[in-house]
A and B are shown apart, each in its own frame.
Chain A
Amino acid sequence: MCNHQPVSCNTVQPDGLTGAILALEGIEDAAVILHGPTGCRGHHCSLSERAFPRDIPDERLNFFEPFYFGQPRIPATGLDGDDFVFGAAEKLRKALATVAARGPALIAVINTPGAALIGEDLRRIAFDSGIAVPVAGIDMPALSRSMAEGYEQAIAAVLDTLDLNPACRRRPKTVTLLGLSIAHHHWAGSIEEIRRLLALSRIEVVCAPGAGSPVGAWKRIPEAACHVAVHAEYGEQLAWRLAERFGGTAVVPRCGAPFGFTATEEWLREVAEAAGADPAPALAAVKAVRRRVACVLSRITTLTGAPKGLTCSIQADASTALPLVRFLYEYLGILPVSVEIPDEAQANSHWAARLGLALTRMGCADAWQTPWQNARADFLLADGCRAVQGPIFGIPADCCIELVLPMSGCVDLTPKALLGAEGTALLVEKIVNAVSGML
């Protein structure tokens, strides 16, 4: 039968449309309508449903259910060829009414590429439909640009729609967490972990836009003393924007996202300093986890020394890859052999420059942008799409660790984090468990 079988890998990255959809799906009590064909919808529905399970469909895959078609999230207006010619305001009006009847605190309408082209006037249609719920609109999503850009665009659109009160009094030791999205694996656990650590230092998280916070929490954003970018690619611009609009301090920790113990400690220090709080209690909690992990590692490494000496490939945004590379290299002794930034457009960012420098200092400059499929590393830390393909390229499934858009199909009922001290412990746990399977 088939003898022509070059091993190929699927490398297509999501773009700003996915970033925007997931950012808005990350508002707990909001509803997102896709104004466009159902073709853009299916995968986004399952991503949202898996990442942030909330609703149960009336009947799964009941294609006759208007706009939802048997999936619980992200109804679509279902534009077809005629609608592209004649417009589809009526369909959108009906969809708005159907969705509004479910009582969301906010509706966000996103034009799909086709609807964006025919210039559907989302705001006018929403206004004409007379629904009482505030409606945010994304007229032209960030097509073929990074997921992070789409996320920023969507969060900004909601901020504009909610018309938050800039005169609101800022409260000391309060922060917003920006740049976390439900696309990030274990986002809910990560938020809880950061909340926990900050709370130990008496810092309150008032809102994590796009990462589970309901509209009520968004309304508290002007109270925040600091606007902290967790994932810089997603949150840096927003932090500056919020600081400019509502006052307060924009904080973009130099260590990148709090992956690994050292970065977590640095991150906590920087945020605490900006918020005028004492980082010591949070650092003490990190230390406790450090001890727990070290105790396990000292036992496990006795026989072979592993995981020291193993290799890894990382495919992630630079502000994620930087702390991860440092952690794996410095803390566990795992050598980076491939470090890739998924979005070419970000390859020139200052984060990418710092990542390149870090690799050079480690003597691993060759790893920079080496395709992971060619590197044959022991571990792969990447988005779900690449992680599930790891086994095709000789990396066992256990050694493929998902960072964003998980695809493995695993269900997590107990909260897990990837960020902070507990997130670091989970990372070590995954690595050592995989190592024990390898030896």
Chain B
Amino acid sequence: MKRIAVYGKGGIGKSTLSANISAALGLVGQRVLQVGCDPKQDSTRLLLGGRTMATALDYLRRTPPVGRRLDAVLHTGFAGVSCVEAGGPEPGVGCAGRGILSTFELLDQLGIEQLDHDFVLYDVLGDVVCGGFAVPLRNEYAQVVFIVTSGEFMSLYAANNILRGIRNYEGQGPRVGGILFNERGLENEAGRVERFAGAVKLPVVGRFPRSEYFSEAERLGKTVVEAFPESELAERFRRLAWLVAHDPSRFSACPLPAGELERVVHGICRERHAEVEAGAGSTGSGTQRDIASREHQPVTTGESIPGSPLPPHPAGVSLPIPPPRRYSSKGVRTQSVLFGCAFNGATHTVMQIRNGVTLVHGPRSCAYLSSQGVLSTARRMRDQYGNRWDAGGIPEVRCSHMDEHTVIFGGNSGLEEAVRRVASGRDDPLFVVTTCASGIIGDDARLVLKNASTGNGAPPMVLIPADGDITGDYMQGVLDAMRLVAEEWIDPGIEPEADAVNIVAEKNLAANTEENFEAVRSLLKSMGLRVNCRFIRRCTTNEIAGFNRGSLNLLAVDDAFGRVVRDFLENRHGATFASSPFPVGFQATSEWIEELARHFHKTNEAEEIIERHRAVYEASVAALRPALEGKRILIAVRNHCIDWVLETALDLGMVILKAGILESAWDDTFHSRYEGRVPFVFPYAREQRDEDMRAFDPDLTLINYPWRNMPEGFRFDHIPVCPDVGFLAGIASAGRWLRLMKLPAREGWRRDV
């Protein structure tokens, strides 16, 4: 596939030229995709009979990820040309450059690559070559760039700026195809353009005189190639298309230094300024000789360009619609308010990889906020559970220290330097996570890492392009980081081992995560099983590489996040999962152990464990029952699995008046083995709680957190959002209920609030 970008100042006619080139290529049987990267969103209008289409950015805003389809943003126009318009904000608000980035990401996600186009033509506004508008300049996008200009000074000024932008992306060799001269009919116009072209060492590869054909075709909503195929103008476009199709020579970008442009354009100084870097000539498919011979003899489409005809049009161009490939968090999937940012989620995840170092590409505030999240959790773990600090200390986070200057002038070089500094002398992996700022300005972190990792002895480097919250919420960042790490490290060639399990999707910011892990590990140990890898928590890349050693995977939590991780590991890595997550409560734990026992042939051990705990559970129930039997409880929580509470309450002979399940930011399904036995309300409205408390007058209301103005005089207890796992989770709560029953419903201090 050939990828071409056409840049030019707004209003210079680049869309008209681009559409005509696409049409000419389409007419000779080439499968062409034209992507309009201009907020004006009229790049493909002439290919679509004058119609404008829904833009990618509008679509992105309106449609949740799961429902997104390529055919909603991709339309077929004249000569089978596929058309996409990026769209953009109203002038003066938002960031149109970021819009280009989002469009490219959307097209990638929807699998545009699989459509097998022969040509992709990006029509890009070049007034401001900010990071977003420079995306088509990146190596994975345009291989050849043409610049449209007229002889107006501002147009040439923009052309020179575009060359400056291109120069920053020339790591892989020259990429400028030449200048497309769109005449305005000004006096001495050709001379100006030729002087400019000579000074920047570029050929004028297409020259398009002012013509009535343009306005007439425009009026018809068509390209000149379609409307007036016999015209000389159409012929010029066909010649240009021929050039484009035949691997045009490529030249280095040699922009004029500030101050010289005016002199050159106005013919005051014809000499090339010394500032043009030595050796900045062409080294690509256009040779040094090409440049030398063309330097002051601009090529125009007026010349006769020899060559073979283009291949014929294939019969029918049908575009398959590939499925979306994303594993989305609940917030992203439902397009609700984003809680937290993907950057933080991703950073917290890779920080769990003990032999890695995390480099934040962004302002120091982002690195600080992320590391504080981990540190506060560690502190809470210590205070609440007495967990000692992780012996390895608090994971290191480094930062590229983006400041006001960097965000304006681009952060690639700052990132490059930071990567060099952090990577120097280390073998262990480096994870680079991007923030809102780097995402908006469109830094090419991928290229920076690619360059940095080519040297000898460079450690493995993995980019997590979270772009702050541009890619989604906190959980999306966790998911994306897990996915990228899995794809990078999990070794598919490793065979499962008989006694090994993996732990998957633990909550890295919950204070009881270690406590729960230890409880599970101890149960596993009693069955002679061992933990192979915690994916991804307090582990190393070696352990992740050996992920497939775990013959069974144990999901920590069965919520929206846990299920997506499970789906991903099942689909992509063939992982096998136990049917239920870390168990909470007596029955869940018994069943979980029985399933493990069946899988690992450990029935005797399982029976012994369950019986031992049954004795304790039953003794506890017997002790608590006399005081709690007949007590009436109302439940109003956002936990989407409360069977462990219900089990204890029912075993104690308590009466469940109502179990209201509130909406949760983390889950959207609800299930219970007590359906039919307990009066559930799902979803339960917050507003209903006060009324129910007054109406039912329960002995105890179970909630997550109290709320302002909740009815006075009622006893309530807190149900943890992340409960402790194990046989006795419910019993621990019931012990507390018993104490609460003996205490005044309202503590004295509450009267002072």
Give residues in A with beta carbon < 8 Å to B: 1-18, 36-40, 42-44, 46, 56-64, 69-70, 78-87, 89, 112-114, 116-120, 140-145, 385, 388-389, 391-392, 407-409
B190 contacts the other chain (Cβ, under 8 Å)? no
Complex alpha-carbon distance, A43 and B375, angstroms = 11
Complex alpha-carbon distance, A119 and B99, angstroms = 15
Contacting residues, chain A, for B355 (C-beta < 8 A) = 4
Complex alpha-carbon distance, A18 and B406, angstroms = 19
Complex alpha-carbon distance, A9 and B428, angstroms = 17
A143 touches B402 (CB 8 A): yes
A38 touches B402 (CB 8 A): no
B660 contacts the other chain (Cβ, under 8 Å)? no
Complex alpha-carbon distance, A408 and B375, angstroms = 11
A6, closest chain B residue (CB)? B392
Give the residue of A36, A42, A59, A78 whose beta carbon is less than 8 angstroms from that of B705: A59
A140 touches B395 (CB 8 A): no
Q: 15 more A-B contacts (CB under 8 A) besides A118-B95, A143-B407?
A: A1-B534, A4-B540, A5-B391, A10-B397, A13-B368, A15-B364, A39-B469, A40-B369, A62-B705, A70-B705, A81-B472, A87-B89, A141-B365, A392-B389, A409-B383
Contacting residues, chain A, for B354 (C-beta < 8 A) = 2, 4-5
9 contacts between A and B (CB under 8 A): A1-B539, A5-B391, A9-B396, A39-B469, A46-B376, A60-B705, A114-B469, A143-B403, A392-B394
Give the residue of A8, A142, A144 whose beta carbon is less than 8 angstroms from that of B396: A8
Complex alpha-carbon distance, A358 and B472, angstroms = 51
B186 contacts the other chain (Cβ, under 8 Å)? no
Complex alpha-carbon distance, A422 and B753, angstroms = 30
CB contacts under 8 Å to A, within B76-99, are 88-90, 93-96, 98-99
> Quick one: which of B90, B472, B706, B707 has the most chain A CB within 10 A?
B707
Complex alpha-carbon distance, A8 and B395, angstroms = 6
Give the residue of A12, A64, A79, A388 whose beta carbon is less than 8 angstroms from that of B368: A12
A87 touches B708 (CB 8 A): no
B470, closest chain A residue (CB)? A81
B96 touches A85 (CB 8 A): yes
Closest 4 CB pairs of A and B: A39-B341, A87-B93, A114-B436, A5-B392
B114 contacts the other chain (Cβ, under 8 Å)? no
B96, closest chain A residue (CB)? A85
Contacting residues, chain A, for B363 (C-beta < 8 A) = 15, 17, 113, 143-144
One of B332-340, B572-580, B592-600, B668-676 at the interface: B332-340
Complex alpha-carbon distance, A379 and B102, angstroms = 51
A-B contacts counted at CB < 8 A amount to 243
B371 touches A10 (CB 8 A): yes
B289 contacts the other chain (Cβ, under 8 Å)? no
A388, closest chain B residue (CB)? B379
The answer to whether A8 and B436 touch (CB under 8 A), given A59-B707, A391-B389, is no
Complex alpha-carbon distance, A140 and B402, angstroms = 13
B407 touches A113 (CB 8 A): yes
Measured CB to CB, the closest approach of chain B to A37, in angstroms, equals 4
Complex alpha-carbon distance, A407 and B98, angstroms = 37
B367 touches A140 (CB 8 A): no
Complex alpha-carbon distance, A385 and B376, angstroms = 9
Complex alpha-carbon distance, A145 and B441, angstroms = 19
Measured CB to CB, the closest approach of chain B to A44, in angstroms, equals 8
The answer to whether A144 and B402 touch (CB under 8 A), given A37-B469, A118-B94, is yes
Contacting residues, chain A, for B407 (C-beta < 8 A) = 113, 116-117, 143
A389 touches B394 (CB 8 A): yes
A114, closest chain B residue (CB)? B436
Complex alpha-carbon distance, A113 and B407, angstroms = 9
Measured CB to CB, the closest approach of chain B to A142, in angstroms, equals 8
B269 contacts the other chain (Cβ, under 8 Å)? no
B362 contacts the other chain (Cβ, under 8 Å)? yes
B705 touches A117 (CB 8 A): no
Complex alpha-carbon distance, A120 and B92, angstroms = 9
A1 touches B93 (CB 8 A): no
B468 contacts the other chain (Cβ, under 8 Å)? yes
A4, closest chain B residue (CB)? B355
Contacting residues, chain A, for B705 (C-beta < 8 A) = 59-62, 70
B365 touches A18 (CB 8 A): yes
B95 touches A117 (CB 8 A): yes
